[in-house]
């Protein structure tokens, strides 16, 4: 049920070597079936799916002197809604200017860009052949009693570093569901290590009871929970900081524990660590990587903490306390091919 947003241009566009290189990179990510709307050789796909901005539009702005993300935002309106095209635009600037391009760590709306509503994006982990395991991911977007008209949404498949490798446009009518499958033989080939994240961007403010869920599918089980999103008002982050605490009990069979989290805010998430405290009182900690907006990490706790790996239960917490994450605990019993999911 994949329908990537690779739309037809209204007119033929000439593309510079930079644009042609990036278009080629996108096309190499693969096609699925005849249901997709493929672009022909003269038509560039969108670089910004929210605003329907083509690679050639950005390339033209760069040739006219755009030297920063803010310049491109003002010249084209690209990257002024969900910020999902940020990393691709930065690659275009890097290709054009090399060492003369200095990227910014925080993505914002620049002066001169007004009236843009920033959506509350929703995030879910995707495991598609993760670490060679037989596991796939299914996303179900359920709309029980929403508006009479279908609700449009876009699902962006991202690698852990935030790079968008697929954009899927869909809609779901009231009383209906939309199902998106991310399998190892397709999504897994796009995601290094078979792990990534799906980011949902809704196309309407009034969504009624629409709720996305995801399932981890293996030959022996289906594990499910719902999406997570960032706080509605980033200005209130400091008022709501608190520890995320995950209890980890130990069963009769050895299992694996992974902490999966995404930075949901425009400012970098840095200086964080995970602190593990076992039931026996042992305390260990591990440093976490700096994450920029929409970047994720999947931390194998059983490899980081000795007492957890030795079979002792306990709890893990995020420190310093922070609210700006969409996080999940993933538990896996390899022998039973059983996954369990708990969200923050």
Sequence-ordered list of residues with C-beta below 8 angstroms from that of 28, at least 6 positions apart, any chain: none
Helices (H) and strands (E) in the chain, counts: 7, 19
Q: Is 231 left (phi over 0), alpha (psi -120 to 50) or beta?
A: beta
Name the CATH superfamily housing domain 17-100.
BFD-like [2Fe-2S]-binding domain (1.10.10.1100)
Pairwise CA distance, residues 63 & 22, whole Å:
16
Domains 122-228 and 234-343 share a fold: yes
Q: Which CATH number fits domain 234-343: 2.60.40, 2.60.290, 3.20.20, 1.10.3470?
A: 2.60.290
Task: Give the pLDDT of residue 13.
Answer: 36
**How is the chain split into domains, by residue range?**
17-100, 122-228, 234-343
- Classify residue 108 as left (phi > 0), alpha (psi -120 to 50) or beta: beta
Q: Per-block average pLDDT, block size 10, for the chain (344 residues)?
A: 30 43 44 31 69 94 94 93 92 94 86 68 94 95 77 92 93 88 94 96 67 92 86 55 66 83 90 91 94 94 87 86 84 90 85
Q: Going along 119-163, which residue ranges are E strands?
A: 122-127, 136-143, 151-158
Structure tokens at 324: 């700006």
Query: Is there a contact between 138 and 217 (Cβ–Cβ < 8 Å)?
Result: yes
Cα 281 to Cα 65, 277, 278, 308: the distances in Å are 59, 6, 5, 12
The pLDDT tens digits of the residues spanning 99-133 come to 999 888 888 888 777 655 667 789 999 999 999 99
What was the pLDDT predicted at 37?
Answer: 29
Instruction: Quote the pLDDT of residue 5.
Output: 31
Pair of tokens at residue 339: 């996954």
Task: Decide: 177 and 140 in contact? Cβ < 8 Å.
Answer: yes
**Can you give the pLDDT at residue 218?**
94
Q: Output the pTM of the full model.
A: 0.82
Query: CATH fold of 122-228, please?
Result: Hypothetical Protein Tm1070; Chain: A (2.60.290)
Determine the length of the chain: 344
Residue 96: what pLDDT? Answer: 94
Of 83, 7, 54, the C-alpha closest to 263 is 83
């Amino acid at each position: 049920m994949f329908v990537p947003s690779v739309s037809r241009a209204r007119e033929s566009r000439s593309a510079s070597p930079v644009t042609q290189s990036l278009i080629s990179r996108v096309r190499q990510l693969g096609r699925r079936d005849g249901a997709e709307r493929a672009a022909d050789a003269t038509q560039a796909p969108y670089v910004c799916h929210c605003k329907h901005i083509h690679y050639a539009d950005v390339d033209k702005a760069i040739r006219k002197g755009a030297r920063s993300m803010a310049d491109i935002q003002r010249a084209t309106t690209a990257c002024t809604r969900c910020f999902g095209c940020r990393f691709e635009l930065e690659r275009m600037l890097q290709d054009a200017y090399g060492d003369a391009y200095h990227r910014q760590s925080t993505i914002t709306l620049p002066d001169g860009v007004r009236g843009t509503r920033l959506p509350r994006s929703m995030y879910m982990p995707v495991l598609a052949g993760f670490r060679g395991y037989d596991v796939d991911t299914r996303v179900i977007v359920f709309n029980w009693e929403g508006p009479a008209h279908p609700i449009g949404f876009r699902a962006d498949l991202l690698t852990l570093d935030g790079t968008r490798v697929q954009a899927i446009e869909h809609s779901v009518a009231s009383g209906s569901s939309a199902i998106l499958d991310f399998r190892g033989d397709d999504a897994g080939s796009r995601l290094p290590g078979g792990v990534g994240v799906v980011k949902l961007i809704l196309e309407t403010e009034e969504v009624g009871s629409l709720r996305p869920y995801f399932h981890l599918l293996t030959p022996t089980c289906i594990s499910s929970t719902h999406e997570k999103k960032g706080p509605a008002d980033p200005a209130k982050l400091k008022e709501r900081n608190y520890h995320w605490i995950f209890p980890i009990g130990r069963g009769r069979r050895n299992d694996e524990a992974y902490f999966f989290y995404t930075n949901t805010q425009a400012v970098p998430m840095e200086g964080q660590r995970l602190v593990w405290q076992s039931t026996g009182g042992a305390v260990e900690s591990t440093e976490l990587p700096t994450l920029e907006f929409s970047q994720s990490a999947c931390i194998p706790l059983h490899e980081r903490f000795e007492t957890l790996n030795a079979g002792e239960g306990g709890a893990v917490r995020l420190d310093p306390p922070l609210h700006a994450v969409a996080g999940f605990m993933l538990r896996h019993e390899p022998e039973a091919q059983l996954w369990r999911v708990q969200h923050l």
